[in-house]
Structure 1
Amino acid sequence: MQEILAGQQIGWPILTVVTFLPLVGALLVWAVRDAALAWRIGLATVAADFLASLPLFFVFEPDSAAMQFVERYPWIPSLGIGYHLGVDGISLLFVVLTTMLGLLIVIYSQGVIVDRVRGYLMALFALQTTMLGVFVSLDLVLFFLFWELMLIPSYFMIKLWGGEGRDNASIKYVLYTLLGSVLMLVGIVVLYLQHYRFASVHGLSPALSFDLLDLLRTPMSLDVQILIFVFLFFGFAFKTPLVPFHTWMPDALHAGPIAMSVILAGIKLGTFGFVRFSLPLLPDASRAVLPVMMVIALIGITYGAYIALIQTDFRRLLAYSSISHLGYVALGIFALTYQGIQGGIIQMINLGITTAGLFFFAGFLWTRRLTLTIAEFGGLAKGMPLLATFLLIIVLSSIGLPGTNGFIGEFLILFGAFKAHWIYGAIGVLGVILGAAYLLWFYERAIFGKVTKPENERLPDLNARELAVALPLVALIFWIGLYPSPFLHRINGSVEALHARLHPTTATAGVGTGLAEATAVPASAFEEAR
């Protein structure tokens, strides 16, 4: 696979700066004692991190499958572990989305968090660094370290700043994620040993390597690929989460602070892991397990939507809505079609916008009524026209109305699913209908219903701080919905290369500059690797 070094492309180690700047901010916050000063430092930190990430989007070479802004340094060479960072079309948008949501979370939190402000900001910034590290790591040990370190700030955010049920939710989240991580580590080690065996037999260097680009050149039999796929599957499925590994998520999203809900539901780490590692490293296994993965995805779509229909609490409704939407992402990814993978990636970004927006609005409602029981609301549109308007836009985006970002992702996913098999697409369409039902039901009851509670007659509309959170999300909803080309062009090259690797006999000409190029090993090696 081709690489473009950060020094050649932009002249400075942009990925290191973007990844670790929040951690620097956490140290600065720790050094002060005044809460107001901590907020100013925190806001400056996330604003600087977001601005630092923007050159990634604008300098990135569209339609290229090459790893860009690459930084590579030896770390523990005796074990084949390196400090290797880079982004391609698959990971680029996740980095910018994470820095943007980090900024919006701090803006939102300033009006909500009053206790242990310094600790809150430190945990939030540590979490942001680990998430960014997951997206930019090209060494599997480095990736795993960031993946595991996420647990520490996540646990404390739920435990210390959560609401009712936070103790159980925090422990459940850690145990489920830790179980998946242990199994994923086994898969990484097996993959490492397979590469060592192959490289030793053929005299390749380095023989010991956790580097993604080296591992992509390691041929494996179908049985070995399936074994590794299963281990990686558990790690990513628990984090996504896919049904039936989802039971931690409703509790965590309901009990945790809004910031944690935005992160867990808005930043799709698990499904990113499938696209970044499982599909390109294990193409034969990915094709072999396609029917199983599609069934799991469809169960998640319909189950999540059905359970959302019967929820009485807005945050729990959103939690099961997230499970249903993640089923759509998995449906697109594991259709293994070009349009499906493309739709799955862009829909992960879309959900980071719309789902985050829905949870922010849940926070807006909570600060006004200290409840999110749907029956407690009604008739809010009369006194809160701004909230009603912006929330409607986000709801319609989540449904997938044409003209919004949600439509682009859903259309590509369903197109790809129908190409895989018409049954997959047909059941996926049913999920769209159910999704529209529960969100419109909530909106009609809470916003357009009758004013049944006197408390709802005098609720204040969105203030300037809340508008600063809502406006960027609404702008992105329409930008991607009406003009998706800048986003699709940046992911197309990597999607083409991944599709070529998954379907080498049908690869299109000109795709070989990316992941597909990593398959350039002697044909005899595949037999010897058995």
Structure 2
Amino acid sequence: MIGLWGVGPHRRYAAMKYTLYMLFGGVPLLFGFILLATAGEPGALPVFGLPELLRSPLPASAQTAVFGLLLLGFAVKAPLLPFHTWLPTVAMEALPQIAALLLGLKLGVYGIVRFAIPLAPAAASEYRWPLAIGGAVTLIYGALVALRQTNLRRLLAYAGVSHVGMVILGIASFNLLGLQGALMQLLNFASVAASLMLIAGMLQQRLGSNDALQLGGLAKPLPRLTALFFLFALSSIGVPGGNGFPAELLMIFGILQAYPVLALVALLGAVLGAAYTLDFIRKGFFGPLKAPELAGLRDLRGRELAALIVPALLVLALGLSPQWLLSRQEATLTAWLSRVNPPALRLAPVTGFQAPAADRSI
């Protein structure tokens, strides 16, 4: 789909790059699952069912290898630094719908939460610091590169890389707050990041460009598109009222419990995210029109508005009332934590969306 129907001049290169990266990530996943299936008693049949594997803990000698293989494979698909370069390339060359799908569905991060950590909990606990540092480096690197971008689609791709780093930090905190925020942020990718990429495609269709140097004053001819872009963009940087606010707040509280030093890195990443997002809004939507022909642009059509209004309502619903989602996650996540955290490392979970006890008086 990228190679045949992409919109960029290098779409075939992007398709080949994406294919090679996915194959590279698939090889360690294959060997990791084979090692999982054959790590039981000698002579026993291989087991590939997840419930059976969870009921039969791996020997400590095999957990490090399984965790390393699964983490490597899922890191490519997430993507984490240094395996991230396929995402900006695809974002520039593929159809906006395909780019939105790849930007919004973070199956690599889901794989880390669902498979890599629960299937090798001892190794995950042992290597939680390297995992957290990898997330922190990805967070800051993605934000710094996004800060230098003028093309909206490339900016959104690097912003997605940065947000993945924050989610990995939240997961690596191994406490209820961080994990609740991380999983909520994964849902936010599907509603916020994908919608922003679709809006970028709508701008590309109307203007032939997503570059801020050729945009300016779009709020006047495109008020509905601008309003929805503002909603999704402000939610992505954690402004209260959007679904990004409770997710980022929970992750920062969770990281603060587990890694006080890295909590400062998370806050820095949030500040950089606000900087590159608001800078593009200022250049692209405010000020005078860059060209007279921009005044005749057509605002969102009915079907475009319908495609964006559902995720917009989800952004507001989760932003104004996140507790209904968080309360439904709590039992499952508590069970996940009881499996992953050894007693010596276990942090007391905090129920629901609230600050830690020491901070509730603020």
Shift of residue 336, structure 1, vs aligned partner = 1.2
Question: Which whole-Å deviations, capped at 9, do the CAs of 1:123-171 have from their partners, x for residues lacking one?
Answer: xxxxxxxxxxxxxxxxxxxxxxxxxxxxxxxxxx111111221111110
Deviation digits for residues 218-250 of structure 1 (CA, Å, limit 9, x no counterpart) = 233433211111111111000000001111111
2:354 aligns to what?
A: none
- Secondary structure class of the residue paired with 2:34: helix
User: Who is 2:11 aligned against?
Assistant: 166
Distance 1:195 1:435 in 2: 46
The one of 434, 442, 451 aligned to 2:280? 442
Whole-angstrom CA distance in 2 between matches of 1:326 and 1:168: 25
What CA distance in whole angstroms lies between the structure 1 residues aligned with 2:152 and 2:293? 18
Kindly provide the CA deviation profile for residues 317-363 of structure 1, in whole angstroms up to 9, marking residues without a partner as x. Answer: 11101000111111111111111111111110011111011001101
Tell me the CA shift for residue 196 of structure 1. 4.3
Residue 60 of structure 2 is aligned to residue 225 of structure 1: no
1:223-262 correspondence to structure 2 within 5 Å: 223-262=61-100
Q: How many residues are paired up?
A: 346
Gaps of 5+ in 2: 350-362
Task: Give me the whole-angstrom Cα distance separating, in 2, the residues matched to 1:333 and 1:187.
Answer: 21
Pairing 1:267-306 to 2, within 5 Å after superposition = 267-306=105-144
Aligned equivalent of 1:356 = 194
What CA distance in whole angstroms lies between the structure 1 residues aligned with 2:174 and 2:92?
33
Once residues 507 and 298 of structure 1 are traced to their aligned partners in structure 2, the CA distance between those partners, rounded to angstroms, is 21
Write the distance in 2 (CA, Å) between the matches of 1:325 and 1:507: 24
Check 1:211–1:466 CA distance in 2 against 1; reply closer, same or farther (3 A cut). Answer: same
C-alpha distance in structure 2 between counterparts of 1:283 and 1:251, whole Å: 34
Instruction: State the Cα deviation string for residues 459-478 of structure 1 (Å, max 9, x = none).
Output: 11111111101111110011
TM-score when normalising by structure 2: 0.92
Amino acid aligned to 1:395: A
2:102 is the alignment partner of 1:264? yes
Inter-partner Cα distance in structure 2 for 1:455 and 1:366 = 15
Query: Is 1:386 matched up with 2:224?
Result: yes
> In 1, distance between residues paired with 2:163 and 2:80?
10
Structure-1 residue corresponding to 2:250:
412
- Is structure 2 residue 30 aligned with structure 1 residue 185? yes
Q: 2:156 is matched with which residue?
A: 318
Q: Write the letter of the residue equivalent to 2:310.
A: P
Match of 1:461 in 2: 299
Residue identity matched to 2:257: K
Residue 492 of structure 1 pairs with residue 336 of structure 2:
no
The answer to whether residue 20 in structure 2 is matched with residue 175 in structure 1 is: yes
Tell me the equivalent position of 1:83.
none
Shift of 1:384: 1.4
Deviation track 1:397-428 (CA, whole Å, cap 9, x = no partner) reads: 00111111001111111111111111111100
Q: CA deviation at 1:380?
A: 0.8
Which AA in structure 1 matches 2:5? W
SS of residue in 1 equivalent to 2:55: coil
Tell me if 1:336 matches 2:204.
no
Matched, 1:430 2:268: yes
What secondary structure sits across from 1:189 in the alignment?
A: helix
Residue pair 2:175, 2:347 contacting (<8 A) in 1 also: no
**Is the 8 Å Cα contact of residues 2 and 95 (structure 2) preserved in structure 1?**
yes
**Mapping 1:58-77, distance limit 5 Å:** none
Compute the TM-score of the two structures, normalised by the length of structure 1.
0.64
